Chain A
């Protein structure tokens, strides 16, 4: 196996490990659009990192964190509905990012790489970032998991029961921002949300408890990364989109299974009525 492919496998596996539980929380806490807004801002991070001559991942991370905190502050003020705030800032930061890139003539940005990811170009430094994120991220999640679940069920109830709701929310937003900044390499800014939410959404239909859903999401994410990568090698297809399509395949399979189950349940019912009415 080639080195670059092994690095891609390891990197993808590391991202899927943390994307599973975080993706579940994004679904439960209704933060899909919030995550998308963060992802849209990453291009501005790339541009600013070049202008300021700092590490690209660091630039992306700084912009993601700033936007995340700004969004939380704006949402709490209730001046506009939360989806309005998200829509405004997501696209404004994207436009700003594109403008900065256009201004800096020397910046030859591989735009496609940032939009759709370049998992095969993952370097050793990226691998260190990804696994540091996975380990530290999972440790943080283990600490805030229970309060986050309480807040997801009812934020006021959690507050009365002594959960520091704003602090816990900020911890989760930071984790989401870091994940998006680091995972951008794997599937790119346009598809990172897919890697977060599609396995989690599929896992929902297969789970009875929050923890089970997180674990199933991790497993589905890992399989999608592995199948997607081998598929892209075999048929020479872009790996990021293929990973997402594999994840989508599981989603459709689960959807089809639940349709078949409901149809067969409906067709079985008349028979049982006949049996009970001789």
Chain B
């Protein structure tokens, strides 16, 4: 077990991981760790390797280089980005929640209540909305009493007010279940306020830091209201490098001169 004195239990740690596919590096010497009670938000553009990194962490993809350490017996709750619902399979929300293990009726009702999706236990899984599905997937991962919760784009297709709602739910869950949370998001600037650490990925770790509260930002508050502003935060990227056309990191000044050159040649 990787526990150093005084610091919280480090649930999972990825060191120097590289994953290649088709001759390209999807992940390039990436480090990432999640400790108990910590919320880590992984951000990056589409195709930056976020899902691959999550898959490495979950043990679904073996890295070509580097190490993955998990504490023994680590219980992972995973909420995937998509769930292909098959109309050929008649299955209710209740049955879906009971698939890996039978749970007590009160536990089922409690967890659906926790994620804000009460009263849909007997609805067919294929009939609930996309937002409800995210909540049901979250509920299912919680029923396992996970040490680590991995949520891949839990807010995809969810409107802003429901987003802040879900953020509040996730924050509550961290406190109540005392688990580590890895939240994958494609939103580069607005993250969950309760996030302890933001990791910005673009095949390699671009930057990492703490989000800044935007509660005080009057324009944001007037646009979305205090309710939303309380649970979201902005993340100011502090990059010491830029990317060329292939996505390789280049020093900032070099990138600037390249852009200028490109603009100059393109302008005439």
Contact = CB atoms under 8 A, between A and B. Distances in A.
| Interface footprint category on A | 20 to 34
Contact of B80 (A28, A154, A163, A204): A154
Contact of A209 (B78, B90, B100, B144): B90
A156 B88 CA distance: 19
Contacts of B76: 160
Given A154-B84, A207-B90, A208-B90, A160 B60 contact: yes
Interface stretch (A80-88, A120-128, A145-153, A171-179): A145-153
Contacts of B91: 149, 153, 209-210
Given A146-B99, A153-B91, A163-B100, 16 more contacts: A149-B91, A150-B100, A154-B80, A156-B58, A156-B78, A157-B83, A158-B100, A160-B58, A160-B59, A160-B60, A162-B100, A204-B90, A209-B90, A209-B95, A210-B89, A210-B95
B122 to A, nearest CB: 9
Contacts of B16: none
A215 to B, nearest CB: 12
Interface in B91-124: 91-92, 95-96, 99-100, 124
Identify the interface centre among B91, B96, B144: most chain A CB within 10 Å of its CB: B91
Identify the interface centre among A156, A160, A161: most chain B CB within 10 Å of its CB: A160
Task: Tell me whether chain B's interface is mostly helix, strand or loop, or mixed.
Answer: loop
A251 B260 CA distance: 68
Interface of B: 58-60, 76, 78, 80, 83-84, 86, 88-92, 95-96, 99-100, 124, 144
A254 interface: no
B90 A153 contact: no
A28 B88 contact: yes
Contacts of A161: 100, 144
Nearest to B88: A27
Contacts of B58: 156, 160
